[in-house]
Amino acid sequence: MKKSTLVKATMGAVLLLTTGIFSVTNVNSSQAHSANQKLRYGQTYKLVNGYDNWQGGYLDTRGRGCSENLLCVSTANNPNRDNGSGSWKILSKTGKTGVVESLDDVYLQNQYDRGAGGYLDTRGRNCSENLLCVSTANNPNRDSGSGTWKIISKYKSSNDLREDQPVQLVNGYGNGQGGYLDTRGRGCDGNLLCVSTAAGADRDSGSGTWKFIKH
């Protein structure tokens, strides 16, 4: 092989290798970026519970009439157990659009049966020996802030709320005294874990910690 031909072949191989590395890097960067997007109003997410190293299941609606409300709330192994039962849309209580910030007042609308699953709500006391019972209601403000929630980043120094980021949810009932969304007990409504609110932010091994995810 002539020297000039060898140089061209070598340069071509280097260019091909470099291009391949660049493409893989771009794909990986894109995937990392898409998995860490800021939470936005009007978007629908799954909520995974942090109990026992993120084995707490997905926030779900199953069964009717709990605490004389619309649908019962528990966690499921499957993020889409039944026709949108594990999907929740973030809505602003104050009419905000765009990015959700830590401590915003929000409603969480369940997407069961194309959005007919009601709003995440507290009603009744002492479910699973916890603070308040959790179910869904037809009205986002059924009783004194019962359907209002604040999403709080576990990284206290930041107002950013992002997908796959650990957060806690505080219920607004009684001027913000409704407790933290929590899992406690098993087998409610034939599902994985029971859901209620707790007086403390992280009652047991991540039970009060959640992540909003798209996948």
Q: Which residues pair with 182 in a beta bridge?
A: 196
Average predicted confidence (pLDDT) for the chain: 87
pLDDT band at 155 (very low <50, low <70, confident <90, very high): confident
Residue 15 has pLDDT above 60, yes or no: no
The model carries a pTM of: 0.83
Residue 48 in tokens? 């995974």
131 φ, ψ to 5°? -75, -70
User: Of the candidates 168, 172, 170, 174, which has an alpha carbon nearest to the alpha carbon of residue 209?
Assistant: 168
Q: Which CATH number is 39-213's, of 2.60.40.1290, 1.10.3130.10, 1.20.58.2030, 2.80.10.50?
A: 2.80.10.50
Distance CA 21, CA 157 (A): 36
Residue 73 has pLDDT above 60, yes or no: yes
Residue 60 has pLDDT above 80, yes or no: yes
Strand intervals (E) in the chain: 44-49, 58-64, 71-76, 88-92, 105-110, 119-125, 132-137, 149-153, 167-171, 180-186, 193-198, 210-213
Distance CA 192, CA 97 (A): 34
Handedness of CA 115, 97, 202, 210 (dihedral sign): positive
- How far is C-alpha 212 from the geometric centre of its chain's CA atoms? 2
Q: How far is CA 176 from each of CA 145, 150, 160, 189, 199, rounded to the nearest angstrom?
A: 8, 9, 21, 28, 11
Average pLDDT over residues 73-80: 97
pLDDT band at 22 (very low <50, low <70, confident <90, very high): very low
**Contact yes or no for 150/169 (Cβ under 8 A):** yes
57 φ, ψ to 5°? 85, -175
164: left (phi over 0), alpha (psi -120 to 50) or beta: left
pLDDT tens track for 196-214: 999 999 899 999 999 999 9
